[in-house]
Amino acid sequence: MITITIEDRDGSRQDLEVPEDINLSLMELLKAAEYDILATCGGMALCATCHVQVNEGLNQLEEASDMEMDMLDTLPDAGPDSRLACQIRVNNSLDGLKIRILGVN
C-alpha cells in the first residue's frame, strides 16, 4: 500500500492508503476520494484547478514537464513546491508523499 497525506484547503488532514498498482493520477485519486477538485480540463494540464503544494516528497516526483511548468507560471500563488495533481502518476515512489490542495474549487 501507498500512503499519501492530504491537507485540504480548510487545514484538515487525512492519510489515503491506496494499492500500489492503482494506475491513476493524483488528481483522479483525489476526485475518487471526494475531494473538491474541479479538474476542468480533465487532466490535460490546461486549467491548474488541481494545483497542489508538495509539503514532503517533492524529490520523489518525476520532473514537471514544460507544459506543466508553463501552466504553473500563470498562478500567482505557485511556488517551487507547486505541482499539478493531474501530472503526477501514483506509484510506489509516492509512499509518504504529503500534499496540500490549493486549486480553485
pLDDT tens profile 68-94: 999 999 999 999 999 999 999 999 999
**Count: domains in the chain:** 1
Tell me what pLDDT residue 26 has. Answer: 97
What is residue 10's predicted lDDT score, i.e. its pLDDT? 95
Residues in Cβ contact with 11 at an 8 Å cutoff, skipping those fewer than 6 apart? none
Residue 105 pLDDT > 80: no
Question: Rounded to two decimals, what is the model's pTM?
Answer: 0.95
pLDDT higher than 80, residue 60: yes
CATH code: domain of residue 71 = 3.10.20.30
Q: How far apart are CA 24 and CA 63, in angstroms?
A: 18
Which residues contact residue 105 at a Cβ distance below 8 angstroms, ignoring those fewer than 6 apart?
A: 9, 36, 37, 38, 49
**7-58, pLDDT tens digit by residue?**
999 999 999 999 988 999 999 999 999 999 999 999 999 999 999 999 999 9
Structural domain including 82 reads 2-101
Confirm if 52 and 97 have CB atoms less than 8 A apart: no
User: CA-CA distance, 20 to 80, in Å (whole number)?
Assistant: 27
